[in-house]
Amino acid sequence: MANEELEGNTLNVYTYVAKEGRPVGTRDVTRGANLSSPSVAHRHLIKLEALGLIEKNEYGEYLLKEKVDVNGHVWVGRSLVPRLIFYAFFYMGALGAEITIIVLSSFVLGFNVEVSFFFLTAMTAVAMILFLTEGIRLHRKVQPPNTQN
């Protein structure tokens, strides 16, 4: 399968071509994917072309032919986003709801909040932080240094 071949610099080149959304040349890819030389970029472009993921136009430039699933990632427009980021957002929403319940119960309604609910809230916060941290690390690993947002 094609996505098994997508890792390291080949994945960086693939995501760069996908993100550009226009035909790109070897020198564009060298700069955009932060590769050491045009020959390295060319080798990865040829590999992606052989996998059927990109194609070469009549001007010798490459453009995206097909978006494929990349393990642990989701395409959002032209960007490849780690699934862990979405899990972090889920826990962020749960944490917001739990904090709202604590604030409303304690300060507005005057109820005593059980200690176990604070423990649950702390565990939700830890899960959110772990998913977010790992998601950001994975995103940085996939994105070339000069295109990170």
- Could you report the per-residue pLDDT of 92-149, keeping only the tens digit for each? 999 999 999 999 988 877 788 888 999 999 999 999 999 999 999 988 877 665 544 4
CA distance 20 to 75: 14
Terminal C-alpha separation, the chain: 29
Whether the per-residue pLDDT at 76 is higher than 60: the answer is: yes
| pLDDT level of residue 88 (50, 70, 90 thresholds) | very high
Stretch 65-80: mean pLDDT, rounded?
88
Domain ranges of the chain: 2-64, 73-147
Tens digits of residue pLDDT in 4-16: 667 888 988 999 9
Listed in sequence order, the DSSP H helices in 51-114 are 83-103
Whether the per-residue pLDDT at 42 is higher than 80: the answer is: yes
Q: How far is CA 134 from CA 11, 49, 100, in A?
A: 18, 31, 26
Q: Tell me, what's the pLDDT at 83?
A: 94
Q: How far is CA 77 from CA 18, 81, 136, in A?
A: 9, 10, 18
Q: Tell me, what's the pLDDT at 107?
A: 80
pTM above threshold 0.85? no
Q: Would you say the C-alpha torsion 49, 52, 58, 62 has a positive or negative sign?
A: negative
- Mean pLDDT of the chain, nearest integer: 88
Q: How far from the centroid of its chain's Cα atoms is residue 50's Cα?
A: 24
Q: Tell me, what's the pLDDT at 3?
A: 59
Stretch 40-55: mean pLDDT, rounded?
93
Tokens of 73: 């990632």
CATH architecture of residue range(s) 2-64: Orthogonal Bundle (1.10)
Tokens of 7: 């890792």
